[in-house]
């Protein structure tokens, strides 16, 4: 760091406290020429030699003790944070590769209670916190409340490990839209497929607040982001059928 001090005339005297040095310093600093008076007068902003030297000592002390090093320390902190993020990102990629995570899988950088989701620029982030990527856009009408959707899905945790799959189960899943059939009621999964079209395939990143419940009886042991690759197969209309005291819903 460079400090710019007022220009001074210093004598080559070996001692800082030399009276000769202070007198010469004071005389060269305190005289000025007044434009309306051809006489030299003392400037109102003039500082005597002792005060000026004292100020120089203080500035020298502050620099030596690192008081002005806050900006440098701030830069070092930012550099360390960026280094830590890069290190965690590379570590996540190695773990995901070991778990056979699909291509363009998102990365999750955890630092304390904060989580940073790192994705490519093709992902879309919603106001609710939901993030999705359309792998393939389908055709036809989007599902409406009351209709039944049939779909395949593969679920992953943050490390890219597969935790569930209807493909492995051998049959697709079905839910009726708008009936709060999923937990929680404002399920991120239903939000993620509500504007899909039949034949479409989408990757949905669900934040913890919109995610499924956690616990020993579930696939999820802790609150974390969940990733689902969903393939929407079909959308069916549904009607309620009542026979005597029996009532059910039929979807065609």
pLDDT digits (tens, 9 = 90+) for 80-135: 666 677 888 888 889 999 999 998 999 998 877 788 999 999 999 999 999 999 99
Give me the DSSP letters along 197-218: -TT-EEEEEE-GGGS---STTS
pLDDT, residue 63, reads: 45
pLDDT, residue 39, reads: 44
CA dihedral sign of residues 44, 46, 47, 49: negative
pLDDT surpassing 50 at residue 21: no
pLDDT, residue 20, reads: 38
**CB-based contacts of 150: which residues, under 8 Å, 6+ apart?**
172, 173, 174, 232, 233, 234, 235, 236
pLDDT, residue 91, reads: 87
- For the segment 43-57, the average pLDDT, to the nearest whole number, is 50
**CB-based contacts of 173: which residues, under 8 Å, 6+ apart?**
150, 151, 152, 153, 166
Q: Is 160 helix (H, G, I), strand (E, B) or coil?
A: coil
User: Is the bond leading into 184 cis (omega within 30 degrees of zero)?
Assistant: yes
pLDDT, residue 182, reads: 81
pLDDT surpassing 90 at residue 166: yes
CA distance 102 to 189: 19
Q: Is 117 helix (H, G, I), strand (E, B) or coil?
A: strand
Where does the pLDDT of residue 223 fall: very low under 50, low under 70, confident under 90, or very high at 90 and above? Answer: confident
DSSP type of residue 159: T
pLDDT in tens, 173-220: 999 999 887 867 678 999 999 999 999 999 999 998 898 766 665 555
Where does the pLDDT of residue 75 fall: very low under 50, low under 70, confident under 90, or very high at 90 and above? Answer: low
CA distance 172 to 87: 39
Instruction: Report domain extents, the chain.
Output: 120-241
Where does the pLDDT of residue 16 fall: very low under 50, low under 70, confident under 90, or very high at 90 and above? Answer: very low
**CB-based contacts of 185: which residues, under 8 Å, 6+ apart?**
none
Of 173 and 67, more confident: 173
pTM of the entire predicted model: 0.64
pLDDT, residue 212, reads: 72
Shortest CA distance to 178 belongs to which of 235, 140, 218, 228? 235
Radius of gyration of the chain measured on its C-alpha atoms: 36
Percentage of residues in the chain with pLDDT exceeding 70?
A: 62
pLDDT, residue 181, reads: 79
C-alpha dist (Å) from residue 12 to 16, 24, 55, 145, 147: 10, 12, 20, 91, 94
C-alpha dist (Å) from residue 170 to 101, 162, 173, 233: 21, 16, 10, 14
- Is 3.40.50.300 the CATH number for 120-241? no
Percentage of residues in the chain with pLDDT exceeding 90?
A: 45
Q: Are 80 and 68 in contact (CB under 8 A)?
A: no
C-alpha dist (Å) from residue 142 to 38, 96, 192, 233: 91, 33, 12, 12
- For the segment 21-40, the average pLDDT, to the nearest whole number, is 43
CA distance 135 to 202: 5
Mean pLDDT, the chain, rounded, equals 76
């Amino acid at each position: 760091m460079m400090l710019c001090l007022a220009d001074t005339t210093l004598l080559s005297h070996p001692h800082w406290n030399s009276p000769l040095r202070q007198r010469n310093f004071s005389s060269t600093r305190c005289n000025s020429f007044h434009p309306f008076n051809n006489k030299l007068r003392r400037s109102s902003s003039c500082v005597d030699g002792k005060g000026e030297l004292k100020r120089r000592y203080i500035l020298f002390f502050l620099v030596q003790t690192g008081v002005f090093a806050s900006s440098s320390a701030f830069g070092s902190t930012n550099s360390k944070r960026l280094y830590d993020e890069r290190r965690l990102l590379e570590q996540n990629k190695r773990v995901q590769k070991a778990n056979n995570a699909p291509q363009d899988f998102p990365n999750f950088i955890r630092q304390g209670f904060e989580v940073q989701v790192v994705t490519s620029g093709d992902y879309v982030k919603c106001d609710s916190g939901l993030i999705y990527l359309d792998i393939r856009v389908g055709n036809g009408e989007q599902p409406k409340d009351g209709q039944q959707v049939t779909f395949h899905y593969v679920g992953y945790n943050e490390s890219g490990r597969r935790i569930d799959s209807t493909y492995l189960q051998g049959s697709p899943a079905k839910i009726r839209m708008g009936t709060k059939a999923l937990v929680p009621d404002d399920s991120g999964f239903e939000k993620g497929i509500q504007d899909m079209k039949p034949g479409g395939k989408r990757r949905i990143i669900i934040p913890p607040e919109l995610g499924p419940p956690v616990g020993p009886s579930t696939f999820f042991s802790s609150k974390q982001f969940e990733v689902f690759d969903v393939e929407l197969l079909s959308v069916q209309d549904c009607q309620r059928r009542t026979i005597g005291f029996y009532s059910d819903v039929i979807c065609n």
